[in-house]
Structure 1
């Protein structure tokens, strides 16, 4: 309670205000404070990502994190460049790179333009970053259980972090200016990355592309949160993308001396020698918490606050500033009225540099372990150690990892951490880098996670999120009493098979009750031309019939796909739980 309110209450007491009136006044203050806290909280209601090592969803990412997976590979051969021509181990060689490995996505050439209403000619001219962020945004909407129409009927903003636009170099690498055509400008403009999503999905809220270097996507999230709080948006798509399409970006980072010569990011380790190249894409769907609760959305995490600032002047534009990092964290904690002691884990920027890691460690220690009074352990890690530094997309990928930690109340192990950095006194503060899975379910109902993201130009961002209480309801695992119908649809027949395969894998591993899954698919899912439907009482029965669809065999409770442009149709409603169907 603020000093002004205390003073006012004391004056009321001095004037013999009745206890009932005084209690009513205090209850009103508590109610206003509670409503204010609700308004300041943002729900994460959808997430999607794509990373190296075949990670195409948040489920894939979570499994990889729990298993401590990391992957670096040679630069892909299908991007028009032979990196062996540019490789020279000597760091001083002009126009050369001393590392050619990293975390690369191997299928960025795959894209279905027809699904989004894009012509093949235009798709060829589109920067793969635009294609990838478009696909990921759509998947994030699907992950939230929304039909696109839900977002079209509201003010939906799009905020996307993009740091490079080097796709143009592929068509102009030999000064072939005659290759420039009608689509070249929009296809290679970073400013179009967000606008294309808004245009193709008919979203009418604010739409902008953000570039603050490595903190781009975290800054995009912050701007999206503010748009929701200002009521200029009802939904937000926030994210970022990073692909390394030409040698120029690699050469420039080699000249800066920022890259690890063994292509391994060793966050907070004694042998940290720079970051590894990384690619990735991530998008989250945001909504005001009170609206998400009202609409019974699938709330995956709750963002309590975020903040951004800049280093200002200092030792150099590319050098980290510990005081500014502390300031952005303190601003974030103040904005959310968060007790630093509540934090369980910090997803650090953690680039794995001898200069940056100690500075970031102590900025965390001086804010979350203030005056060294902290009693509980604060865990510290960084996603960059798994798949490299995804630069403009690194912040959003860290937010997705943080949301998964809060949702599951489990902290995954940190990879590539074997020898603690000797520039850090690890005994001074209760901060640990987790070497094994830390399950907090028995200890914590709510897990709080902080996320830091710093840009090479000096722009800093910090965010705190926590477990959603609405997501902690016990799953209904009782199956076999009711008959459920599951409907899947796709734009193309072959894509329907892929949808079915994905659903089979999902059903095998998810703890979500079958009735919730079927409800989302039937009520909120978009209806494409090719469809299949199955009925069953358990996940096992549903999986069996989905496999029958893939095998092309007839099975009780299986409806074959429909390919019809006729808008009218016949609907059958069966109420008998002993239903037998064959078609």
Structure 2
């Protein structure tokens, strides 16, 4: 990618909470592009009535929640949303060198912990961090520090952003409209070194090619571009916000506009989003490069009479124009210093869609039943609107690139429409994801397994292996007999039951479910011993075919599902009775004489994953998919006061004092 050095940083995730209900990048672009304001019409948008905090999600009591700065509340939620957008399970970052850098602005108060410490402690992040308070340049300074830490090798992943608490009104869209009443605004980015992001197959929103912070004179600005190997003549435009002092514009003009053949388009912004202004400006730049257009600035006219824009070769953007070049400069100036960041477009996506082979799981999870219901509704809406060619990436992202919460809904489907229709009722997941495979000795019916052998490749292949092992001892083919109609003879039942159990074990493995332990009833001990690796398939076949063979095989621990201590999930493999259970457990049948065989197995797999089973996603996704847009987490916010929490209510907040905010009356 021309002009981007080896030390470039990739933006792989983003979360935002902005005026007018803007809660994602699509909503922000709709506002910038002059479309309808966001709010409830944006998928995942937050209501302007919502002014609470989902303390339960973060494992906090009301007393703990009220002891935190309201800005800390928002940073925690933005961190979750940004990591979800990046396709990074937060649990995988625990105890890692991940860093946190945050700019905070608003009423000053003394808190026992910084914003960076709050986020780091919750996610158990061990990397460097800092809280920056430099007025409207706070978040861009934090971002520059985060980039420096990444390229220095201090961290592999960094969270960087900013939050502003306003006691007045704020506005982000570029057209007329009422200002937003919500006092908290912010944005968060997830960053990696570009090389790491490409190696991890992350979705890349854009690239930060260069950065610098301090006194933003012409010399520092030139150094930023020289280090990044970016020619100022390649700037599409400049996002500039700050105090608006003539010296700031003069530095930008002399360093960046004078070397150009044509005037440099600039979007001036007085920084009304305070400490969040810088990182929000980066989001605007990323979107402008993605959509190849420069949105008009509502602050371009009338121009500041104290600045000679024409003489400085700066051209305020009063009307939207196409973006012909490949870089955007983001400048943030404030008393005490500022920052400058060069934003480049994302590298071309060279990946090809993966061909889907068979049904795929879609996983929806949440921290409560109420949140799960809303999450499932949002996911269903997303699936209904998706094309078939998107399904592999959507399913892959939901399974392999999102954290899993205790309450889940899972469905296996061939396409997005079917998945939306078949999202099932959820349940709390088991604490132990290992599955016990239970092998029995009765319960067969005429024609059992015939449909599976005819329609499922994994089942048929496993049965053929069992047939090869059994045929020398039996003198007849179990594969051929399974395909024939009619009841089984007494001398056929055990070999055929064993073949079905081997086939079902292979069918489940092809769907990512393997045994964490095995147990059995009666002659099912042979299949259980084979599945546990205690017998080879040939040894198991000999035990099935020879008289008294089962007596020489020891069953799994306890002889039944009730005797496997510490396990919570049980799968009945093939024809098998549930048996009595002395303690609560999830028992899932894989076969039913009254149901379609393949459908029954798919639903059993979905039920096991819903209940918390550890699934091997590689069985469904042999090649990694691309990170897809999925709905944001449905927060269950409540207002918190000391010792209590109550649902949020519609309130006008523009007259709330800092004392009331920090006393816990509003969070």
TM range, smaller chain: 0.5 to 0.7
**In 1, distance between residues paired with 2:48 and 2:347?**
38
Q: How does 1:187-226 map to 2 (within 5 A)?
A: 188-189=111-112, 191-226=113-148
Q: What's the CA shift string for 1:372-394, capped at 9, x where partnerless?
A: x424x63321566xxx6121111
The alignment's C-alpha RMSD in Å is 3.8
The SS at the match of 1:513 is: helix
8 A contact 1:379–1:432 mirrored in 2: yes
Aligned match of 2:261: 374
**Aligned residue among 331, 337, 342 for 1:452:** 331
Where do residues 151-190 of structure 1 align in structure 2 (5 Å cutoff)? 151-152=93-94, 154-166=96-108, 188-189=111-112
Q: What residue in structure 1 maps to residue 78 of structure 2?
A: 136
In 2, Cα distance between the equivalents of 1:243 and 1:367? 33
CA change 1:451–1:277 in 2 (3 A) is farther
Q: Is the 8 A contact 1:38 1:289 kept in 2?
A: no
| CA 1:382–1:47: 2 relative to 1, 3 Å | farther
Q: Residue 533 of structure 1 aligns with which residue? A: 410
1:6 alignment partner in structure 2: none
Among residues 10, 13, 23, which one is paired with 1:56 in the alignment?
Answer: 23
Task: Say whether the 8 Å CA contact 1:162–1:242 is kept in structure 2.
Answer: yes
Q: Is the 8 A contact 1:145 1:525 kept in 2?
A: yes
Using the size of structure 2 for normalisation, the TM-score is 0.58
Distance (whole Å) between structure 2 residues aligned to residue 142 and residue 235 of structure 1: 14
Structure 2 Cα separation of the partners of residues 400 and 509 of structure 1: 25
Partner of 1:413: 296
Match among 40, 43, 59 for residue 7 of structure 2: 40
- 8 Å Cα contact 1:301/1:468 also seen in 2: yes
Q: CA deviation at 1:129?
A: 0.5
The aligned counterpart of 1:461 is 339
Q: Where does structure 2 lack aligned partners over 5 or more consecutive residues?
A: 40-45, 175-180, 438-507, 513-596, 604-667
Partner Cα separation in structure 2 for residue 121 and residue 486 of structure 1: 37
Quote the offset at 1:460 in angstroms: 1.5
Deviation at 1:508, TM superposition (A): 7.1
Q: Are residues 265 and 499 of structure 1, via their aligned partners in 2, closer, same or farther at CA, if it must alter by over 3 Å?
A: closer
Is the CA contact (8 Å cut-off) linking 2:248 and 2:333 kept in structure 1? no
Q: What are the ranges of 5 or more consecutive residues in structure 1 without an aligned counterpart?
A: 1-33, 73-103, 169-184, 251-261, 268-275, 311-323, 549-554
Residues 167-212 of structure 1, C-alpha deviations (whole Å, 9 max, x = no match): x6xxxxxxxxxxxxxxxx7xx34x4211011111000001221122
Total equivalences in the alignment: 434
Q: Quick check: 1:490 aligned with 2:395?
A: no
* Cross-structure match for 2:199: 294
The structural deviation recorded for 1:463 is: 0.4
Query: Which residue of 230, 237, 251 maps to 1:338?
Result: 230
CA distance in 1, matches of 2:337, 2:202: 33
How far apart in 2 are the matches of 1:265 and 1:407?
19
Aligned 8 A contact 1:328 1:462 in 2: no
Which deviations, in whole Å up to 9, do the C-alpha atoms of 1:493-529 show, x marking residues without a partner? 1112332344356557789933222212111211112
Contact 1:69 1:415 in 2 (8 A): no
After superposition, residues 60-79 of structure 1 pair within 5 angstroms as 60-67=27-34
Structure 1 residues 497 and 433: alpha-carbon distance in aligned structure 2, compared to 1, 3 A threshold: farther
Matched, 1:111 2:53: yes
Maintained 8 Å contact 1:41/1:289: yes
Within 5 Å, give how 1:337-416 maps onto structure 2: 337-349=229-241, 356=244, 359-371=247-259, 373-375=260-262, 378-382=264-268, 389-415=272-298
Which whole-Å CA distance do the structure 2 matches of 1:214 and 1:295 have between them? 33
Correspondent of 1:235 among 131, 134, 157? 157
**Whole-angstrom CA distance in 1 between matches of 2:308 and 2:383:** 46
TM-score (norm 1): 0.65
User: Residue 307 in 1 paired to residue 212 in 2?
Assistant: yes
SS at match of 1:334: helix
Q: In structure 1, what is the Cα distance between the partners aligned to 2:105 and 2:407? A: 38
User: Is the CA contact (8 Å cut-off) linking 1:217 and 1:240 kept in structure 2?
Assistant: yes
Tell me the distance in 2 between the aligned counterparts of 1:525 and 1:495: 16
Find the structure with the greater CA-based Rg.
2
Instruction: Look up the match of 1:81.
Output: none
Q: Is the 8 A contact 2:204 2:346 kept in 1?
A: yes
Question: Structure 1 CA distance, aligned partners of 2:24 and 2:267?
Answer: 21
SS in 2 for 1:452: strand
